[in-house]
């Protein structure tokens, strides 16, 4: 687990430096960096929604969807973005929840957190806070969040059951999950997924459709759905994952 985490950390620390204009990814020595970071089209998934955001936030967008829209965020809500990177989804979420709400971003990489905070300052957004931590150990109290979003990051967790448990813990009763992620068809073995791409490239660590659904349900989530949106490789898809924590007043999922 430590080795996987170190590889992910090195990869996305370099991504932050590239987005900040501090280095060129190609030639950095980080395996897969050039093709997956400088060749990323993650920002294209936002259409015009990100046009007025800081360039550093847009350049650091390495996701596979637009979870702030999928989550149907409402004014006054508290939202948490897992693996917030340069902060693009947090800044977009902050707009949707308004001044009465708040958007948290969680990332384990100092370089990404520093970049995100610079982007927040440049954008002039106040209702945002970036936290350092792991998906498997979220530094927020239990029952403190209305919605959890994530953009192609859950697949990077080396301990997905722990990540699901932490998501469940920090959500309020009736709170919801709306995640964009890479998901494998059930026919693909772990070796098949590794053949299609690296762990840091969001392929080797991807769950299958059934694994994702059963993992969330085993944690206690209800209303789980895993819906493919676009193909990214043979048998691999970008997908929207939704779920809800029981209790309370159900919010849109």
**CATH number of the domain enclosing 11:** 3.40.50.150
Do 22 and 13 form a contact (C-beta atoms < 8 A)? no
The answer as to whether 13 is a domain residue is: yes
The answer as to whether 251 is a domain residue is: no
Query: What is the bridge-based pairing of β-strands 171-184 and 236-244?
Result: antiparallel
The answer as to whether 47 is a domain residue is: yes
Handedness of CA 16, 18, 23, 29 (dihedral sign): positive
What is the pLDDT at residue 30?
A: 39
Residue span of the structural domain in which 15 resides: 2-244
Angle at 192 between CA 182 and CA 25, to 5 degrees: 55
Q: How many whole angstroms separate alpha carbon 138 and alpha carbon 23?
A: 30
Do 109 and 12 form a contact (C-beta atoms < 8 A)? yes
List the beta strands (DSSP E) in the chain.
Answer: 78-82, 102-107, 128-132, 145-151, 171-184, 222-233, 236-244
The answer as to whether 161 is a domain residue is: yes
Q: What is the DSSP letter of 91?
A: H
Q: How many whole angstroms separate alpha carbon 95 and alpha carbon 114?
A: 21
Do 1 and 158 form a contact (C-beta atoms < 8 A)? yes
Please state, in angstroms and as integers, the Cα–Cα distance from residue 133 to each residue in 104, 124, 186, following that order: 12, 24, 31
What is the pLDDT at residue 22?
A: 52
pLDDT tens, the chain, 253 aa long: 667 665 665 665 566 556 555 544 433 333 443 344 444 445 556 655 555 655 555 555 555 667 877 899 999 999 999 998 888 889 999 999 999 999 999 999 898 899 899 999 998 999 999 999 999 999 999 999 999 999 888 988 999 999 999 999 999 999 999 999 999 999 999 999 989 886 677 787 899 999 999 999 999 999 999 999 999 899 999 999 999 999 986 555 5
The answer as to whether 85 is a domain residue is: yes
Tokens of 93: 């979420």
Angle at 56 between CA 53 and CA 57, to 5 degrees: 55
The answer as to whether 252 is a domain residue is: no
The answer as to whether 250 is a domain residue is: no
Count: domains in the chain: 1
């Amino acid at each position: 687990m430590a080795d996987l985490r170190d590889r992910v950390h090195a990869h996305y620390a370099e991504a932050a430096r590239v987005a900040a204009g501090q280095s060129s990814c190609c030639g950095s020595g980080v395996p897969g960096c050039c093709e997956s970071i400088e060749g990323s089209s993650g920002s294209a998934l936002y259409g015009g929604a990100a046009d007025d955001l800081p360039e550093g936030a847009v350049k650091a967008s390495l996701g596979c969807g637009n979870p702030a829209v999928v989550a149907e965020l409402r004014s006054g809500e508290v939202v948490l973005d897992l693996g917030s990177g340069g902060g693009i989804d947090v800044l977009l979420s902050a707009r949707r929840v308004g001044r009465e709400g708040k958007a948290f971003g969680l990332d384990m990489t100092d370089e990404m957190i520093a970049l995100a905070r610079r982007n927040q300052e440049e954008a002039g957004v106040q209702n945002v806070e970036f936290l350092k931590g792991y998906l498997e150990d979220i530094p927020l109290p239990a029952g403190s969040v209305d919605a959890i979003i994530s953009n192609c990051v859950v697949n990077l967790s080396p301990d997905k059951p722990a990540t699901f448990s932490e998501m469940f813990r920090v959500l309020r009763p009736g709170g919801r999950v709306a995640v964009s992620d890479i998901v494998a068809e059930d026919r693909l073995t772990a070796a098949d997924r590794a053949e299609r791409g690296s762990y840091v490239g969001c392929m080797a660590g991807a769950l299958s459709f059934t694994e994702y659904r059963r993992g969330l349900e085993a944690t206690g989530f209800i209303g789980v759905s895993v819906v493919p949106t676009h193909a990214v490789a043979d048998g691999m898809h970008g997908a929207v994952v939704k779920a809800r924590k029981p209790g309370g007043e159900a919010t849109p999922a």
